[in-house]
Structure 1
């Protein structure tokens, strides 16, 4: 029933595990080759018990259900902080409750099961882990530890309900579920190879002798101390108490988040005032530590709890949410240092707070452990990320173990944390990874990079070809849609990268760099076999403008056999790329290589012509079609109160720089006004002009809102440009540029915070030359002169499907249509116009390639190995990081904590993908995590075909899905498709006695025949 989870009976859970493993060598979707296996002997010891490694899932979504705990174990988790229980276990929470797009937010409280159900889940998991450890790993010595978590006040913890839970985990022997699990295992003993009755009898009923105390934000210090002493003294439990990042203080946390680029996170100062204060916290910890020593129990702190923040952008329902994840790491590790220093390293710290594969070993080396994770497991790769972390730790485990924290080493780590770019917002600034497509019921695998590319480049295909050193084929794949691989391989803004799934791992694949490799290695071989296309149509095409858009249109038209001439007023083709983009960004040789490819297709050029063209004249000269691919050549004027005479436009300056930089005289100090790519080019070029000592980039907002490509901004700053944020030029008198100071206000229509003048506040900057880079515009007069409709807002009237203007057979694209745009957007317009002209001629675009073939088994195996493995970019080796999402995606499977999305293998001529996604209703609590990471504008938990376990849940859902209502050779299902409910019988061959889409029939039948264990 939507968010209502149905715990799976132990026998069926055991059957699921055993049958899936026997059939597919997977368990809960985790393939055998991704199971964690220790490479070294040796254990740690905690609470008097052995521990195979000190990492595992934190109290949260990954320890709520038995299957979650099993999945964590298989991937390397050995310390399990069970999800918190509390007396109020029937709360109805608003959904979705998790948003882990980057730093994670949640509005969860405790487990969504009743306290009694939670106890049963943990005991079921306890038994399953024993069986797996013996059956799969052949280990006799238990290597995992369960740690219970309770909250949130003493009265609730003392209640009969929670007390029974605590006692049940301390000794489960008297509980019905413990006895049931033992009985079922004995009855199913023939299914095992290594497990015998003696082993089953030997499974200890003592599941937990430790607890992590979770208290609500604002819990009084006296209450915290009383609960700790109760758990230590009366319950005789080793105890960790969870502390909040608020101990660091409001100003410290606010400034830290701002410096790391998370300025949009809004804190509530009262949350800090109401929480435990640092000095009284130290006193509390020392008193409880002394008490624990008297009780001969271990006491420590769990760092840290989540950070309460305001909900300001509708991320989740409500007014307040709790932040975790990578933004929390520098805060938590600094809190750990402060506390460790207070206790001279003699305070046990259980750690969670932005842990991932990049920092876990460094944290452990300080003597901090156990280490638990949650947010990183909510991201693509999911539980598989545990394997890398467990393997990272293995190399750092010592024969002995550290009882005291190395305070000096921890101090170094804490100091470096704020500088570590892996935890800065800038490292993974996501600009909307979703693609604007509806999530289909079947065959949903898609490469977001390809969809995000304006020309639909087959990115994963050419990346794999580069990886296999099949450069000629890679070049052919690229030039099928892009005739400028050298130019785009150097200058493309990489819209594809903003959609790359690796953004949710660490950083996008360097797609552009790999395109450049393909171009450099495949170009000569391709040209050597290229033949000029014979004319296939008498129609002549005139293209005005030899920039990227005109070049692209000419290439595709000539390739198809049309007579094409490109006209341009400049002496060389290439437009902005040739004349404006600085030489230090792209070589002339790279440009010439792309131009040579276009010339080889038969495109003719008329260069150095009068820019005042006439469409009528072109048509009278026999050109049936005209494509206006004009650039945006007019700079927007810079508004200054005084001193406008020495302002030079960025395009004019860059053209002069490329022509002869030695002839430029800019003075010592240069100000570049603007925050786009042209501003960055101008700043970098100005720094190379003789006599220039200082270059200032003046921008009215802050760096995070600059539209410039991040790498171009970084390059400008690295080369010495000085960024002056929150300034707007006001006047320029006698070599002094006076700038109005600005501040950020409310969001504007673009979502950026508005820049608002600070009345009466100015900053003066010595400036000899101002370069204005505040945008360019098109000369619309020449369009109007030729009879093309342009409204007062500069919008050209076109057919959006073809870009044909009000004049028949006259098309427009590139900057002339959309205003200043990128090279790849210009190519997209040229491609669209070429297709439209070919369609008018009754011709189809020519395909010069066959889709490359790959060893699909090897391909799948290699992709599987990459899943869950964090690895920063190596550029030339980045093919090793591409996840090839269009071939196999399964992101919704990976990120679901409850394993409610299942990858079903379907052999069907009616379906394209390797597997199909089936959603299991009874295992879903509608947390929303799969919706966050699905590439589509959709939610798998709502939009994918759903398997229901009972009539009630089927009736209370609106999902497309099915329910088995009669088993046997000819099973009967109740189906709901597009709101229509009906009953369907299948015959023994898997054919439905109903008019259903065949792919859908094949999916249901595959689930029934091959995955019967799912039908609980």
Structure 2
């Protein structure tokens, strides 16, 4: 495929808009259409805006369809993408060029079109919006403003090409593209209700009365001032100067990033030294402000440009990239504060830098506007995120600019540095990707359920919980998960790491919803539990921890006779006897255990089975070993010995009076068990300080983020970058470590420094990992791997017995234990997979949720935050600025299908970031090509239309290419054939 975008002629552009709106109710995929009905406007320059925000100069203002999509979403101020003398294919842009997974990075800066093409796109968009505002009632035709952006030096701006662009944006009436738009509109008045020829003739051709100067890093102050002077005095344009965050100084930027958790972002001070200095900027702004007053135009500053950082972990191709979004916000708003203090709030600021639904009201309330944004629109929801922002702003007081509230701005700048929406989490984000490739058809899936080891039907039980149908929700849960209380309380919930809501604010609280279902639906659900019809299996389960309990439940429900042998006095294993009571109650464990009694399972407590295989000679048809991982991991310290974490936790939970920890406790380790130990020690009698020693930083600890944060909240003192060496007389000696350079994955390995520190340590607890009882397996003839774990087949079977849970995996999670139990139970029962409960929710309702961040969502329940990805995903549709991925409703198929439109794609790569599959939709989804030549330039599976009327197409699937007439085609996979027929019939405007 080619990364060259093909601008759409005006007639085809308008036909697309009108036909899509007529047939689908959307415009370029935007479903949350905004109509400005309040009549409120704000004056800016000599114009008016209905809403004081819109897309920044960037990926959302490059093509006409981008600008139209932004307008119908609610934008009314558009900073069109920057043009410069180097343009088109002469401007090298590495691809992919955007990565907006959390904070955003990009390696592109100016339009990828030729300057004349860019000009035509902006004129087409302007004219189209004028027509749509009038004919569809989106608002006043004079209620929006275009602002042009140019760079990067005076010679380039004065060149014939750029000068013609500027003059054309000031007055487009004499241009060929204006004539093209006018002619089409007059020829299609019947399709434009409320529009007549007189209205068309009266459309204002003065597209821009304002300009934003964008200069490269390192541009000298005198050059910036010369350019601005030229634009003000010669072009008579209202002028904004775009400033770089480097004005804040290296020390401020580095400290802010470090304090907010962005210490991994690599940059040095060279841009700070080479860029415009604050001491030079302020006098320049004063001179330019006076110059504008003398020339009858307005002056302001654009805050801010993106922030240059080093590509250290292969995030994008190249050596340097530009940071924006949530991490840029504290820098941009701080620079706004510093500048406004110099001008007593009298300087106009056009703001950009991490604005979104969470902070835009605060920014606007300070008197800082217009506000432009890019990063939030590059995330799922895309242009649909504009509608709620428009609603927020239009519900606020509108008043003409009379200055900035500097005190409020200072408070906002201070708040930004601790705002949860902008501070980086302690732990790095886990990958949101599934380990599977995207299919050509029916790619919608629930990533949460895919990630779950037992593939819980999460969207459906969330819906049922939200509707208060707890027993039904619990029935859905227990179909695959027989431990709803335990998993509802302490599950590691990796499902939540894959939740698409993470790209909005935070995951749906899936685990909490499970517990809500269990607590409210258990009494009635338990009454319905009964064993299945006898199947002839008589199964012995050795070990009554979560794995054994789960296996017993599933087997009994399937009709097996089950006996559980547990060497301790109660069921629950590690969860019951080791995990602290402040994490899970005995009642929760007992509830899950009680279901075994209802299912007729025999439980033999205080019974140790030394020889599991011997049970096969006692009448049992199958034996499952689920004896956990209770063996101690070894910590080698010089001097005194450390207390093992399992021994400590078991005593602390069951016999705390036997422990005398002293005042100072040190826990060595960085996993979840270490966090449990540290938190438990904090609660022990007489303990004053609990320190956790780990050889890396918190960011690289294996503990779940939630467990880490709870330990921090409990007051555990973290001693990062320390490797324990010796323990003598209550003093732990540690070697100080330092993190080395990032490797290709961005991970930094600890390196010894040779320095040591001493920590007071009345008790040292070793939490460096537990092990399985390898000797037990060897005794029973079970093969073990190099780590002493049982080697089994996919059904968890080895040497005539089944081995599940920690006994098979080593220390693992409860839900992984359940997955093993289910595999063994299926094999024993000869059963298929558990029943799948598909989400029963309306697609339209789910799509509406995709526009809303949590703070502005009427989220009465977690269910109302669930996006129902199994029914409606469309991340790739949402996040494409150019609208190059479309959702197609195919008769006969349950879900909308994704088609990639090759001619509109510039391979920015953003859809690849947000697709839940390990795939890139722009390469891997079924592609519509504009021509055979475009198809030949690509390896994508897809088709091009050879004769639309005859239904003749050329198809590529795998290595095969062939021509076919769809009506007679028997060769193509039927759903793909139906997809192509639908595009030709119902989406012909895309061709």
Query: In the alignment, what sits opposite 1:458?
Result: 457
Q: Give yes or no for contact 1:427–1:507 (8 Å, CA) kept in 2.
A: no
**Partner-residue secondary structure (3-state), 1:512:** helix
Alpha-carbon offset, residue 233 of structure 1 = 0.9
Query: In the alignment, what sits opposite 1:995?
Result: 971
Q: Give yes or no for contact 1:514–1:876 (8 Å, CA) kept in 2.
A: no
Query: In the alignment, what sits opposite 1:1012?
Result: 988
Distance 1:371 1:695, change over 3 A: same
**Which one of 856, 878, 881 corresponds to residue 865 of structure 2?**
881
Q: Tell me, in whole angstroms, the C-alpha distance in 2 between the residues paired with 1:876 and 1:509.
A: 12
Q: Give yes or no for contact 2:427–2:698 (8 Å, CA) kept in 1.
A: no
Q: Tell me, in whole angstroms, the C-alpha distance in 2 between the residues paired with 1:642 and 1:221.
A: 64
Q: Provide the aligned length of Structure 1 versus Structure 2.
A: 988
**Which one of 634, 638, 653 corresponds to residue 637 of structure 1?**
634
Q: Give yes or no for contact 1:437–1:937 (8 Å, CA) kept in 2.
A: yes
Q: Give yes or no for contact 1:341–1:407 (8 Å, CA) kept in 2.
A: yes
**Which one of 949, 956, 960 corresponds to residue 980 of structure 1?**
960
Distance 1:876 1:164, change over 3 A: closer
Query: In the alignment, what sits opposite 2:790?
Result: 796
**Partner-residue secondary structure (3-state), 1:753:** coil
Q: Tell me, in whole angstroms, the C-alpha distance in 1 between the residues paired with 2:29 and 2:939.
A: 26
Q: Tell me, in whole angstroms, the C-alpha distance in 2 between the residues paired with 1:245 and 1:259.
A: 17
Q: Give yes or no for contact 1:430–1:503 (8 Å, CA) kept in 2.
A: no
Query: In the alignment, what sits opposite 1:577?
Result: 575
Distance 1:915 1:814, change over 3 A: same
Structure 1, 867-876 or 73-82: larger mean CA deviation: 867-876
Alpha-carbon offset, residue 48 of structure 1 = 1.1
Q: Give yes or no for contact 1:513–1:875 (8 Å, CA) kept in 2.
A: no
TM-score computed with the length of structure 2 as normaliser? 0.97
Query: In the alignment, what sits opposite 1:477?
Result: 476
Query: In the alignment, what sits opposite 2:811?
Result: 820
Q: Give yes or no for contact 1:626–1:811 (8 Å, CA) kept in 2.
A: yes
1:433-469 deviation digits (Å, cap 9, x = unpaired) = 0001111001000000001111111111100111111
Distance 1:875 1:650, change over 3 A: farther
Query: In the alignment, what sits opposite 1:967?
Result: 948
Alpha-carbon offset, residue 25 of structure 1 = 1.6
1:150-190 deviation digits (Å, cap 9, x = unpaired) = 11111111111111100000000110000110111000001
Q: Give yes or no for contact 1:533–1:602 (8 Å, CA) kept in 2.
A: no
Distance 1:852 1:94, change over 3 A: closer
Distance 1:618 1:584, change over 3 A: same
1:925-984 deviation digits (Å, cap 9, x = unpaired) = 11001111000011111111111112321221111111111132x321111111322111
Q: Tell me, in whole angstroms, the C-alpha distance in 2 between the residues paired with 1:940 and 1:967.
A: 25
Query: In the alignment, what sits opposite 2:901?
Result: 920
Q: Give yes or no for contact 2:531–2:559 (8 Å, CA) kept in 1.
A: no
Q: Give yes or no for contact 2:10–2:181 (8 Å, CA) kept in 1.
A: yes
Q: Give yes or no for contact 1:727–1:739 (8 Å, CA) kept in 2.
A: yes
Query: In the alignment, what sits opposite 2:3?
Result: 3
Distance 1:422 1:343, change over 3 A: same
1:230-253 deviation digits (Å, cap 9, x = unpaired) = 111111111111111111122221
Query: In the alignment, what sits opposite 1:658?
Result: 653
Query: In the alignment, what sits opposite 1:515?
Result: 514
Q: Tell me, in whole angstroms, the C-alpha distance in 2 between the residues paired with 1:103 and 1:793.
A: 39
The within-5 A match list for 1:246-645 is 246-398=246-398, 400-426=399-425, 429-537=428-536, 539-610=537-608, 613-644=610-641
Alpha-carbon offset, residue 116 of structure 1 = 0.5
Query: In the alignment, what sits opposite 1:894?
Result: 878
Q: Give yes or no for contact 1:838–1:845 (8 Å, CA) kept in 2.
A: no
**Partner-residue secondary structure (3-state), 2:239:** strand
Alpha-carbon offset, residue 698 of structure 1 = 1.8
Structure 1, 977-986 or 282-291: larger mean CA deviation: 282-291
Q: Give yes or no for contact 1:580–1:654 (8 Å, CA) kept in 2.
A: yes
The within-5 A match list for 1:766-805 is 766-799=760-793, 801-805=794-798
Query: In the alignment, what sits opposite 1:743?
Result: 738
Q: Tell me, in whole angstroms, the C-alpha distance in 1 between the residues paired with 2:563 and 2:263.
A: 52
**Partner-residue secondary structure (3-state), 2:353:** coil
Q: Tell me, in whole angstroms, the C-alpha distance in 1 between the residues paired with 2:401 and 2:144.
A: 19
Q: Give yes or no for contact 1:653–1:771 (8 Å, CA) kept in 2.
A: yes
Unaligned runs of 5+ in 2: none
The within-5 A match list for 1:805-954 is 805=798, 807=799, 809-839=800-830, 843-844=831-832, 851=837, 854=840, 856=841, 859-871=842-854, 877-908=861-892, 911=893, 913-954=894-935
Alpha-carbon offset, residue 747 of structure 1 = 5.1
Structure 1, 276-285 or 816-825: larger mean CA deviation: 276-285
Q: Are positions 1:955 and 2:936 aligned together? A: yes
Q: Tell me, in whole angstroms, the C-alpha distance in 1 between the residues paired with 2:928 and 2:130.
A: 30
Distance 1:494 1:853, change over 3 A: closer
Distance 1:544 1:153, change over 3 A: same
Q: Tell me, in whole angstroms, the C-alpha distance in 1 between the residues paired with 2:600 and 2:253.
A: 63
1:257-300 deviation digits (Å, cap 9, x = unpaired) = 11111121110321222211221222222222222222121111
Unaligned runs of 5+ in 1: none
Q: Tell me, in whole angstroms, the C-alpha distance in 2 between the residues paired with 1:349 and 1:139.
A: 25
1:476-509 deviation digits (Å, cap 9, x = unpaired) = 1110110000100000111001100011111111
Q: Give yes or no for contact 1:483–1:598 (8 Å, CA) kept in 2.
A: no
Query: In the alignment, what sits opposite 1:131?
Result: 131
Q: Tell me, in whole angstroms, the C-alpha distance in 1 between the residues paired with 2:820 and 2:919.
A: 28
Q: Give yes or no for contact 1:514–1:875 (8 Å, CA) kept in 2.
A: no
Distance 1:50 1:813, change over 3 A: same
Q: Give yes or no for contact 2:447–2:495 (8 Å, CA) kept in 1.
A: yes
1:653-698 deviation digits (Å, cap 9, x = unpaired) = 1111211324432112211221211111112211222212221222
Alpha-carbon offset, residue 852 of structure 1 = 6.7
Distance 1:72 1:750, change over 3 A: closer
**Partner-residue secondary structure (3-state), 1:426:** coil
Q: Give yes or no for contact 1:310–1:319 (8 Å, CA) kept in 2.
A: yes
Alpha-carbon offset, residue 516 of structure 1 = 0.4
1:320-379 deviation digits (Å, cap 9, x = unpaired) = 111111111011111111111111112111111011100011111111111000011000
Q: Tell me, in whole angstroms, the C-alpha distance in 2 between the residues paired with 1:12 and 1:875.
A: 40
Q: Give yes or no for contact 2:308–2:321 (8 Å, CA) kept in 1.
A: yes
Distance 1:381 1:230, change over 3 A: same
1:555-603 deviation digits (Å, cap 9, x = unpaired) = 1112111122121211111101110111111111111111111332222
Distance 1:402 1:140, change over 3 A: closer
Q: Tell me, in whole angstroms, the C-alpha distance in 2 between the residues paired with 1:39 and 1:717.
A: 49
Q: Tell me, in whole angstroms, the C-alpha distance in 1 between the residues paired with 2:205 and 2:741.
A: 58
**Partner-residue secondary structure (3-state), 2:397:** coil
Q: Tell me, in whole angstroms, the C-alpha distance in 2 between the residues paired with 1:135 and 1:656.
A: 76
State the superposition RMSD in angstroms: 1.8
**Partner-residue secondary structure (3-state), 1:241:** strand
Q: Tell me, in whole angstroms, the C-alpha distance in 1 between the residues paired with 2:256 and 2:62.
A: 32
Alpha-carbon offset, residue 875 of structure 1 = 9.3
Q: Give yes or no for contact 1:510–1:875 (8 Å, CA) kept in 2.
A: no
Distance 1:427 1:790, change over 3 A: closer
Q: Give yes or no for contact 2:531–2:556 (8 Å, CA) kept in 1.
A: no
Q: Give yes or no for contact 2:60–2:881 (8 Å, CA) kept in 1.
A: yes
Q: Give yes or no for contact 2:772–2:807 (8 Å, CA) kept in 1.
A: yes
**Partner-residue secondary structure (3-state), 2:802:** strand
Distance 1:99 1:141, change over 3 A: closer
